[in-house]
Amino acid sequence: MGDKFIDALEQAWGSYLTAAARFLPNLLAMFIFVVGGGLIAFLLGRAASRVLRLVNFNAICRRSGLTDLLLKADLPAPDVLLGRLVFWVVWAGFTLSGFSALGLRPAEDMVSQFFLFIPQLLAAIVMLAVGILLANFVARAALLAAFNAQWPSPRLLASAVRFFIVILAVTMALDQLSLARTVVLTAFAIAFGAIMLALAIAFGMGGREVARRALERRFPEASPAEKDEMSHL
Amino acid sequence: VESLSIQESVLSDELLRRLIAMGEVDVLVGLATYNNAGTVGHVVRAAQTAFAKYFQRERTALLVVDAGSRDGTLEAVRSTQVPEPSPVLASSALRTVHQIAVPYHGVPGKASALRSILSAAELSRARVSVVVGSDSCGVTPEWIGALVRAVREDGFDFVSPLYHRHKLEALLPKNLVSPMIRGLYGISLREPLGGENALSARLITHLLGQSFWEVEAVRSGIELSLPLTAAVGGFRLCELALGRRESGRGGRVPVSAVVEQVVGSLFTCLDLHQSYWQAVRQQAEVPVIGKLPQHASEPMRISRKPMLDRFRSAVSELGSILENILSMETLSETRALASLSDRDVRFPDELWVRTVYDCAASYHGAVIHRAHVLQALTPLYLGRAGAFVVDNLERDAADVDLRLEELCLAFERLKPYLLERWKAMDGR
């Protein structure tokens, strides 16, 4: 009885030691992946920021209006932001690889899903960046055109244009990431349709006078300024 | 051979056939038309009378290139009667006077039309070519005669017109184009946007070999590139006093489009000629032939309030765009100016020059889309124009001329400011 108990203990201890001997190197490997990966990710992030600063990336973003948008969202400068993104993507990759080193099936699945997710993430980031750039460009063009054509509230028009394009870009980016796809698309369609309907009703019923005045301004018979004898040339 | 192949590509088959049939000429008068049925007859008669009156022994040709008018412009040209020799005229051309009126091919616009005229002049070996504005009702045979003589007898390569203008007319050339050209290129041209010009054969060959014909921003204000390219190429320029120009140039075109075309062309020329104008240290003399009478001083109806209102609202509405274009100092002074009432508003010369130079540097550096720089400049120009009207309404014409001279000197004096900003843009 006693021998059997001791044998069982020895067997269990042996199994434990075997399992531990098999697991510990994996655990060590995971720690090395996490810590070493963190260091590599940190260095790569810093290097990415440095390279972006060298190519004057912040100035390009400032001209395109991206920096202003980031500042409004209380986010750091574009070079710092992209450096951080590089750090987190690289470190997350190393960390998940470390977990897969443990030999656990769920961790391995997560790693493969993560690496499949990276191209989608990059595509979404590019979509968002291009959307923001486009929104700022079109908004500025709309502001200047509306102002020079003497339309009422040019800034409101430009803000509306920017808002619609940014929302469209965000929706497309989220769709690319397959995040709450149905909810996002439905919400976008409802919101967009509702805004258009509201505008149509407001302009058609509530704002007939405003519409008339706007059209009169758009197609004037002959304003006093046009009756000027002055020619700019 | 290269020149001929360029001409072939620019000229339509019909025009080429007519030019070959015509052969060589001494004097060619060219008109670019588009829906000018109402005015083109007068210009054609003036040219034909000039041929009969001043160039009886010369081989002459009138070339009308049309951009596809739908109002019967070409028919009006063809049906215009050549004036019979009158007792006053007492002369007629001894040689055949050629007249060609055809549509041109290529991208519609004044640049393609002008290029066709110059190519035709080169192909027909015209010693002197005169380009006449088809919308000008004031063109006389004497103008055409004087333009030709300035090239043929006085040896100039480019003759720029000088018109009899109201003191408050042509505010864009007076406040921006002309003084900026003087400040940077060192040449004084009071009507750089042309209208009626004469060109020598060697200048035409030089112009046709330039690349600016393909630059869209230059094409839209092509008239400016002719004297500037001539100055850069070391050709002889002069101004010729003509008289009152009766036309509604720019009257129906929105001011933002006028600024975009004219100033866009000037700023693009600055890019193309930067090594030239940056090296210019002193003024080159541009002789003036003839003399104009005193400025017309009849009253003129001008609404200055809309111009000043648009300037004020631009400073508040377009603030985020102006921050990208103007320097901090210029922007803060502009904001202070916008807070003044209509009666007190004065746009100081130095502030205006810095505003224009900031825009030119921003356009060069493409800090934002180049068309946006020009669109943002439009209300600032209206502010300057409105203030100019307020300031000079009661002054006599000679006094206004003195103030414009001061503006030119300010453009010259502040050239280092532009150079500094230009280099800062290059170094970004």
CA distance B265 to B194: 14
pLDDT at residue B262 in the model: 94
Closest residue in A to B302 (Cα) is A228
Q: Measured between CA atoms, how close is B372 to chain A, in angstroms?
A: 7
Q: Which residues contact B72 (CB under 8 A, 6 or more apart)?
A: B37
User: In which residue are the tokens 């280092």 written?
Assistant: B416
pLDDT in tens, B214-231: 888 888 888 999 999 999
Maximum separation of any 2 CA atoms in chain B, in Å: 70
Q: Please say whether the beta carbons of B128 and B29 come within 8 A.
A: no
Q: Which residues of A touch B306 (CB under 8 A)?
A: 224-225
Q: How many Cβ atoms sit within 10 Å of the Cβ of residue B358?
A: 25
CA distance A230 to A115: 68
Q: Which of B303, B314, B369 has the CB atom closest to A228's CB atom?
A: B303
pLDDT at residue A225 in the model: 45
Q: Which residues of A touch B301 (CB under 8 A)?
A: 227-230
Maximum separation of any 2 CA atoms in chain A, in Å: 121
CA distance B165 to B294: 9
pLDDT at residue A228 in the model: 58
CA distance A34 to A31: 5
Q: Please say whether the beta carbons of A232 and B172 come within 8 A.
A: yes
User: How far out from the chain centre does Cα B108 lie?
Assistant: 18
CA distance A85 to A45: 7
Closest residue in A to B368 (Cα) is A63
User: How far out from the chain centre does Cα B272 lie?
Assistant: 18
B64: helix, coil or strand? strand
Q: Which residues of B touch A55 (CB under 8 A)?
A: none
CA distance A94 to B196: 74
CA distance B148 to B168: 30
CA distance B7 to B5: 5
Helix, strand, coil share of chain A (percent; to 5): 85, 0, 15
- Residues of chain A short of pLDDT 50, as ranges, are 222-226
Closest residue in A to B312 (Cα) is A147
CA distance B177 to A3: 109
pLDDT in tens, B297-344: 677 777 888 899 999 999 999 998 999 899 999 999 999 999 988 888
Q: Measured between CA atoms, how close is B178 to chain A, in angstroms?
A: 11
Closest residue in A to B248 (Cα) is A231
Q: Please say whether the beta carbons of B365 and B413 come within 8 A.
A: no
pLDDT at residue A89 in the model: 87
Element (H, E) at B113: helix B110-123
Q: What is the ipTM of this complex?
A: 0.83
Q: Please say whether the beta carbons of B330 and B350 come within 8 A.
A: no
A145 touches chain B (CB under 8 A): yes
User: In which residue are the tokens 């018109």 written?
Assistant: B163
Q: Which of A56, A149, A231 has the CB atom closest to B250's CB atom?
A: A231
User: In which residue are the tokens 């050239």 written?
Assistant: B415
CA distance A193 to A190: 5
A225 touches chain B (CB under 8 A): yes
Question: What residues of B are in the A interface, CB distance below 8 Å?
Answer: 168-173, 193, 248-251, 254-256, 258-259, 262, 300-303, 306-307, 310, 313-314, 317-318, 320-321, 324, 367-369, 372, 375-376, 378-379, 385, 389, 428
Interchain contact, B303 vs A225, CB within 8 Å: yes
pLDDT at residue A46 in the model: 93
Residue B65 phi/psi, 5° resolution? -110, 130
- Residues of chain B short of pLDDT 70, as ranges, are 1-8, 82-94, 247-252, 294-297, 428
**Percentage of chain A surpassing pLDDT 70?**
85
Q: Measured between CA atoms, how close is B197 to chain A, in angstroms?
A: 16
Q: Which residues of A touch B250 (CB under 8 A)?
A: 231-233
B137: helix, coil or strand? coil
Q: Please say whether the beta carbons of B92 and B52 come within 8 A.
A: yes
Interchain contact, A233 vs B249, CB within 8 Å: yes
Q: What's the pTM value of the predicted model, to 2 decimals?
A: 0.81
How long is chain A? 233
Beta strands B197-200 and B158-164, pairing class: antiparallel
CA distance B222 to B197: 13
pLDDT at residue A226 in the model: 46
Residue B60 phi/psi, 5° resolution? -120, 155
**Count of H helices and E strands in chain A?**
8, 0
Interchain contact, A150 vs B310, CB within 8 Å: yes
CA distance A54 to B156: 52
Q: Please say whether the beta carbons of B220 and B264 come within 8 A.
A: yes
State the burial class of residue A141 (Cβ atoms within 10 Å of its Cβ: 0-12, 13-18, 19+). middle
State the burial class of residue B377 (Cβ atoms within 10 Å of its Cβ: 0-12, 13-18, 19+). buried
How long is chain B? 428
Q: Which of B172, B306, B376 has the CB atom closest to A144's CB atom?
A: B376
Q: Please say whether the beta carbons of B265 and B220 come within 8 A.
A: yes
Q: Which residues of A touch B321 (CB under 8 A)?
A: 140, 143-144
As given in the structure block, the two tokens for residue B311 are 């300037």
Backbone angle region of B35, left / alpha / beta, with phi > 0 → left and psi within -120 to 50 → alpha: left
Q: Which residues contact A226 (CB under 8 A, 6 or more apart)?
A: A220
Q: Which of B301, B367, B376 has the CB atom closest to A228's CB atom?
A: B301
Q: Please say whether the beta carbons of A157 and A151 come within 8 A.
A: yes
